[in-house]
Amino acid sequence: MGTTPTVRRLVLSNELKRMRIEAGATPAQAAKHLGCRVSKISRIELAQNDITAADAKMLAEFYGDSTEHIEILLDLARGQRKRSRWDGYRAVYPEWFRLFVDLERHAATLRSVEVELIPGLLQTDNYIRALRADAQPIGPTDNLEDSVQARKERQAILTRGDPPELSFVLSESCLRRQVGGREVMAEQLDALADMARLHNVQIQVLPFDARTFAGRIVYRFTLLRIPSPGIAAPLEFVYVESYDDARYLDALDAVANYGSLWGRLQAAALGPVESLDFIREVAAQLA
């Protein structure tokens, strides 16, 4: 399973199809407005064709879309290379991570497995600073406080009005590895315990002595489910990150395989209540 190059196109085509249906327009009417054959509209909605920014704008306006949403569609159509979206503190994100930031913001559910570090969405400011203190820069900029601000913007999804359902399976090593020393880790684990009590956040710890059919625990990945209003099916992706690149997988077999792996790891982990007790126990050992 390799990287799927059409993730951005899938999101855009799904949105355009949803908007056409909600507007009550037929493919023939959309084609007439665009000045093309109906087959082109079909290929656009099936993500078989690249979608130009001009075509996306004309169709979105024909469907009565809002100006703000049209801008989002144009970002997708342009390959998200629009500089204004990623300047300032957001410039800390490397190119390959920017799509994930946008997908994360629109996801209804995220399921993540981490094996060494606390997930970014759950990191405290001091933990972030400690991580970056000795790290080799891989993004276009390396401003420490910009990194903190960018991370806090991502974390806003945890407590917004319509938060996604977030589930994490954390290897015990995530809790034991001391990033920034005992004081920073104690603060981080206390914050982790607090976040585990949020109604939309579930944290499970996979202890070192856990037995699982998943084999050696060397996996880290995130499953994202992005709803599509109307009759369009939701979009499902697997995000797999390496040191300086990432893969975005949307093939049905890839999503199913990682979903099965998630199920095995979750089943082997401690339950949410037991995990909360475990986190507090490790935090107390650092005091």
pLDDT at position 286, please? 92
Each domain of the chain, given as residue ranges in start order, spans 1-79, 89-286
Question: Any idea what the Cα angle at residue 37 is, between residues 36 and 41, rounded to 5°?
Answer: 90
Q: Could you list the mean pLDDT of each consecutive 10-residue stretch along the chain, which spans 287 residues?
A: 53 84 94 94 84 92 87 75 62 81 88 95 95 65 80 92 95 95 96 96 94 72 80 78 85 91 93 97 93
Q: What one-character DSSP code corresponds to residue 202?
A: E
Kindly report the length of the chain: 287
Fold designation for 1-79: 434 Repressor (Amino-terminal Domain) (1.10.260)
CA 128 to chain centre: 18
pLDDT at position 187, please? 97
- Give CA–CA dist 120/212, Å, rounded: 25
Instruction: Describe the chain by its helix, strand, coil percentages, rounded to 5.
Output: 55, 15, 35
pLDDT at position 81, please? 47
Residue 171, beta-bridge partner list = 206
Q: What one-character DSSP code corresponds to residue 86?
A: G
For the 89-286 domain, the top CATH level (class) is alpha beta
Q: Side chain identity at 45, as an amino acid letter? A: E
pLDDT at position 141, please? 52
CB-count exposure of residue 284 (10 Å: 0-12, 13-18, 19+): exposed
pLDDT at position 85, please? 61
Residue labelled with tokens 């059409």? 6
- Give CA–CA dist 46/49, Å, rounded: 8
Q: What one-character DSSP code corresponds to residue 233?
A: P
Residues 6+ apart with CB under 8 A from 63: 16, 19, 20, 22, 23, 25
- Give CA–CA dist 162/156, Å, rounded: 11
pLDDT at position 86, please? 66
